[in-house]
């Protein structure tokens, strides 16, 4: 493994892990600010790309701009819907576990769109992941906290239990699950389209990162009222004094800035990793990142997590490793090592 790949792996684990921490801090203070978070992340990456990738408009794109349109649309909708789900009683641990089911969506799309055939082991691993997500989804519906949803006028419950006085609680939670499912399938479809685009036009990760975020910005006009509403909420949050500078900023804005910066570190590192490592390595790194983020979220933020949740989580991540054929490759590597030792 070269130094660039090693650095990318480190920054994926660091950037994505920190991003989840700051995301959870924000969600606890303002659960309905998903559109604002997404908009700021896209804006930062677009501005950064305009300066360092597009060189203030002097560098021509290697892929025709019109070919990015479909990719941008799917990418924008996926990102917005994933963050929007927090408005519907979806806790962060469930959100992370659910998105870990991307392999399921990829298999479904591969089978029905690309007409691919998969060995039994693939179906077994996907079955484990599916069961794991169902277990976590069901028990989260019983135990997840009913947080205040500004856009949905939900009930606040600080005891991390479902609010029985809110007859619409389960309905809004089901809407959140439906949104996550839609985003999961759309993300898989986007992956298929992206693979086809890169096959025809070549891989240009920095350019793709820049244009998918730049062209998505006009879409946020649809959510301008929500964005402005939660900017006001952020402005009204308690002040936080920046160390050394002796300058105070609203606390939510501090977390938003940190979230945006770490999101860029996370996603740009993933793009680099896809060009430096095999898909197996990328899968392993992303799986490890999700698992570490999940454990930290449960322990540090004291999110409700029962034995059933642990069982579901184990099924999701073991299934992911089986899907990536990690055990087979490890055993194959050990076998080759033993044979080489015998020859020596």
Q: What is the pLDDT of residue 143?
A: 57
The pLDDT of residue 279 is 62
Q: pTM here?
A: 0.72
Distance of CA 86 to the CA centre of its chain: 13
What confidence score (pLDDT) does residue 235 get? 96
**pLDDT bucket at 22, cuts 50 / 70 / 90:** very high
CA distance 341 to 116: 39
Q: Is the per-residue pLDDT at 161 higher than 50? A: no
Give the tens place of pLDDT for each residue, 232-264.
999 999 999 988 878 899 999 999 999 999 999
Q: Is the pLDDT of residue 88 over 90?
A: no
Residue 2 has pLDDT above 80, yes or no: no
pLDDT band of 265, cuts 50, 70, 90: very high
Q: What is the phi/psi pair of residue 249, to 5°?
A: -130, 150
Quote the pLDDT of residue 280.
56
Contact 79, 180 (CB under 8 A): no
Neighbouring CB atoms inside 10 A of 256's CB total 26
Top-confidence residue, 270 or 286: 270
Say which residue, 157 or 341, is predicted with more confidence: 341
DSSP code at position 101: T
Q: 274-281: long-range contacts at Cβ-Cβ below 8 A with a sequence spacing of 24 or more?
A: 274/203, 274/205, 275/203, 275/205, 276/2, 276/4, 276/5, 276/8, 277/1, 277/5, 277/8, 277/9, 280/324, 280/325, 280/326, 280/329, 281/5, 281/9
Confidence of residue 228 (pLDDT cuts 50, 70, 90): very high
Residue 165 Cα distances to 55, 154, 260, angstroms: 56, 11, 36
Q: What are phi and psi of 239, to 5 degrees?
A: -70, 150
Between 10-19, 63-72, 287-296, the lowest mean confidence (pLDDT) is in 287-296
Check residues 267 and 299 and name the one with the higher pLDDT: 267
Longest dimension (CA), the chain: 73
As given in the structure block, the two tokens for residue 267 are 């996603």
pLDDT tier for residue 275 given thresholds of 50, 70 and 90? confident
Lowest mean pLDDT among 65-79, 223-237, 251-265: 65-79
pLDDT at 142: 63
End-to-end CA distance of the chain: 26
Mean pLDDT within 214-230: 92
**How far apart are alpha carbons 255 and 239 in whole angstroms?**
12
* 187 neighbors 105 (Cβ within 8 angstroms): yes
What average pLDDT does the segment 78-101 reach?
A: 78
Asked if 234 and 248 touch (Cβ cutoff 8 Å), the reply is no
**CB 74, CB 2: distance < 8 Å:** no
Question: Average pLDDT, whole number, for the chain?
Answer: 81
Answer yes or no: are the C-beta atoms of 126 and 103 closer than 8 Å. Answer: yes
pLDDT tens for 286-322 read 777 877 777 777 777 777 778 888 888 888 888 878 8
């Amino acid at each position: 493994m070269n130094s660039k790949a090693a650095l990318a792996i480190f920054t994926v684990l660091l950037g994505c892990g920190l991003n989840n921490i700051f995301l959870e801090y924000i969600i606890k203070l303002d659960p309905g600010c998903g559109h604002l978070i997404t908009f700021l992340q896209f804006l930062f990456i677009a501005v950064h790309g305009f300066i360092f990738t597009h060189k203030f408009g002097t560098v021509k794109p290697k892929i025709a701009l019109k070919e990015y349109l479909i990719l941008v649309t799917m990418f924008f909708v996926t990102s917005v819907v994933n963050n929007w789900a927090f408005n519907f009683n979806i806790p962060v641990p469930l959100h992370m576990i659910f998105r870990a089911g991307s392999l399921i969506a990829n298999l479904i799309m591969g089978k029905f769109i690309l007409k691919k055939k998969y060995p039994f082991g693939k179906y077994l691993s996907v079955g484990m992941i599916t069961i794991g997500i169902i277990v976590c989804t069901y028990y989260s519906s019983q135990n997840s906290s009913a947080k205040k949803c500004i856009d949905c006028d939900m009930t606040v419950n600080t005891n991390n239990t479902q609010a029985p006085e809110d007859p619409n609680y389960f309905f809004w939670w089901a809407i959140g699950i439906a949104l996550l499912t839609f985003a999961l399938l759309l993300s898989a479809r986007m992956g298929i389209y992206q693979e086809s685009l890169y096959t025809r036009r070549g891989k240009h990760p920095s350019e793709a990162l820049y244009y998918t975020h730049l062209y998505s910005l006009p879409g946020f006009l649809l959510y301008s009222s929500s964005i402005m509403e939660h900017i006001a909420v952020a402005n009204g949050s308690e002040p936080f004094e920046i160390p050394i500078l002796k300058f105070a900023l609203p606390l939510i804005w501090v977390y938003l800035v940190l979230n945006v910066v770490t999101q860029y570190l996370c996603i740009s590192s993933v793009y680099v990793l896809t060009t430096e490592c095999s898909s197996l390595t990328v899968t392993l790194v992303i799986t490890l990142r999700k698992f570490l983020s999940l454990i930290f979220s449960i322990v540090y933020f004291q999110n409700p997590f029962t034995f059933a949740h642990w069982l579901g989580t184990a099924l999701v991540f073991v299934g992911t490793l089986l899907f990536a054929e990690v055990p087979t490759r490890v055993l194959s590597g050990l076998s080759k090592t033993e044979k080489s030792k015998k020859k020596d």
